[in-house]
């Protein structure tokens, strides 16, 4: 069973906004109900979101790399 809970619940609005932005960039129309979305389209959206989140995290880590020294 998938765990769809967010680690930071306050980020829900930002995650939803990112999902809709990515879908629009990919030319995929999202609606309130997305049960008719193909697996390919859903995977494209999810994959692009993952790439963006990794990129954001890398940028944040590179800006504060000195604080992670042990």
The answer to whether residue 30 is domain-embedded is no
Answer yes or no: are the C-beta atoms of 61 and 69 closer than 8 Å.
no
The answer to whether residue 2 is domain-embedded is no
Comparison of pLDDT for 68 and 39, the residue scoring more: 39
The answer to whether residue 67 is domain-embedded is no
The answer to whether residue 15 is domain-embedded is yes
Distance between CA atoms of residues 57 and 28, nearest Å: 26
- Residue 6, classified by CB atoms within 10 Å of its CB into exposed (0-12), middle (13-18) or buried (19+), is exposed
User: pTM of the entire structure?
Assistant: 0.77
- Domain count across the chain: 1
pLDDT, tens digit, 9 for 90 and up, residues 16-53? 999 999 999 999 999 889 899 999 999 999 999 999 99
Distance between CA atoms of residues 59 and 68, nearest Å: 14
The answer to whether residue 18 is domain-embedded is yes
Q: Where are the beta strands (DSSP E) in 1-70?
A: none
What's the chain's Rg over C-alpha atoms? 15
């Amino acid at each position: 069973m998938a765990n769809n809970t967010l680690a930071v619940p306050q980020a829900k609005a930002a995650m939803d906004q990112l999902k809709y932005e990515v879908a629009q960039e990919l030319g995929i129309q999202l609606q309130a109900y997305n049960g008719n979305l193909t697996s390919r389209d859903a995977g494209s959206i999810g994959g692009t979101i993952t790439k963006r989140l990794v990129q954001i995290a890398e940028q944040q880590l590179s800006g504060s790399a000195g604080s992670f020294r042990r």
